[in-house]
């Protein structure tokens, strides 16, 4: 069984100032998604599904077709690609869209767009985040171990130390889990950084307090492993979410919210997996030079070839 990679690429990155999913950052113009697909293929994935917006679908599809036409899976078969679109009006027919709504409904809504074309365990990632090859190996192994399974999902947790930015404080959802390694909740912390006294701290969104954190604590970088039964459960909670928030122009249906509802209502459990990989990504224009330097270093160290394809 070859798992599927679901890439959330609908965001235009307004703060970054362009379609960052297509920005060449590697030594030979590779994008962050290029590296994710390279790592996924080497980890045994067989299909990539892109979630995009309708207005750049054609451009995105043409680039993918040109770039990956010769990419093969581990067994020598061609890597498959699918494209689905996320739009704010893709909601159950019984709901009337608020005309003030301008953006789609968040990451969990985006995942639902792929429910008709994914029938195997799959891994969700952000298109503008670098996760590292070990993360894809860990996620791929989990998917293969859960073929035909249901009601158990997983989150790939990154050590906070491996996700910090050199540009300032970041927001991180810290994973809390029980003795069996099952996720109990994700608590958002803002302005997470190492302060002048050398201590890592962040603002706990639940308590409102600034608290000391441990660098080895695991946080969510939106890398999730699901089996196909997730779609049905998520659809149920999305309908409930809309009943409560259909008139709210900015409320979004996020993956952590959907998983949290499933956990606390007893319809699913979520394994917490740990990766040694270092995460990085481009949020602001100022982040770009640092990411370019990191990819150059990875190529120099022989981790990746250049060009990738």
- In order along its 309 residues, the chain shows pLDDT tens digits of 899 999 998 874 443 344 545 678 999 989 899 999 999 999 999 999 999 988 888 888 888 888 888 899 999 999 999 999 998 889 888 988 888 888 889 999 999 999 999 999 999 999 989 999 999 999 999 999 999 988 999 999 999 999 998 878 999 999 999 999 999 999 999 999 999 999 999 999 989 999 999 999 999 999 999 999 999 999 999 999 999 999 999 999 999 999 999 999 999 999 999 999 999 987 667 888 989 999 999 999 999 999 988
Q: What pLDDT, in 10s, does the model give residues 38-63?
A: 999 999 999 999 999 888 888 888 88
The CATH fold assigned to 4-300 is: Spore Coat Polysaccharide Biosynthesis Protein SpsA; Chain A (3.90.550)
86 and 205 in contact (C-beta within 8 Å)?
Answer: no
Query: CA 298, CA 309: separation in Å to the nearest integer?
Result: 16
Q: pTM of the prediction? A: 0.93
**Going by C-beta distance under 8 Å and a sequence separation of 6 or more, which residues neighbour residue 215?**
159, 160, 161, 200
**Going by C-beta distance under 8 Å and a sequence separation of 6 or more, which residues neighbour residue 261?**
237
């Amino acid at each position: 069984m070859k798992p599927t990679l679901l890439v959330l690429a609908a965001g235009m990155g307004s703060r970054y100032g362009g379609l960052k999913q297509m920005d060449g950052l590697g030594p030979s113009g590779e994008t962050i998604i290029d590296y994710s697909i390279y790592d996924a293929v080497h980890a045994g994935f067989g299909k990539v599904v892109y979630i995009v917006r309708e207005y750049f679908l054609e451009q995105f599809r043409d680039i993918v077709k040109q770039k990956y036409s010769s990419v093969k899976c581990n067994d020598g078969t061609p890597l498959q690609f699918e494209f689905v679109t996320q739009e704010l009006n893709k909601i159950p027919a019984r709901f009337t869209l608020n005309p003030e709504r301008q953006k789609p409904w968040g990451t969990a809504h985006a995942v639902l767009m792929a429910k008709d074309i994914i029938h195997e365990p799959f891994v969700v990632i952000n298109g503008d985040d670098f996760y590292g090859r070990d993360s894809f190996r860990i996620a791929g192994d989990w998917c293969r171990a859960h073929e035909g399974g249901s009601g158990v999902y997983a989150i790939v947790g990154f050590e906070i130390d491996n996700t910090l930015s050199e540009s300032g404080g970041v927001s991180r959802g810290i994973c809390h889990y029980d003795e069996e390694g099952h996720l109990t909740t994700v608590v958002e912390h803002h302005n997470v950084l190492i302060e002048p006294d050398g201590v890592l701290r962040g603002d706990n969104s639940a308590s409102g307090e600034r608290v000391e954190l441990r660098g080895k604590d695991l946080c969510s970088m939106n890398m999730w492993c699901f089996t196909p039964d997730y779609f049905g459960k998520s659809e149920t909670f999305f309908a409930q979410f809309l009943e409560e928030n259909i008139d709210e122009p900015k409320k979004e249906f996020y993956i952590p919210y959907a998983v949290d509802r499933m956990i606390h209502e007893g319809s699913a459990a979520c394994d917490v997996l740990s990766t040694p990989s270092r995460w990085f990504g481009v949020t602001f224009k100022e982040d770009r030079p640092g990411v370019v330097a990191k990819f150059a270093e990875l190529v120099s160290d022989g981790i990746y070839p250049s060009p990738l394809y």
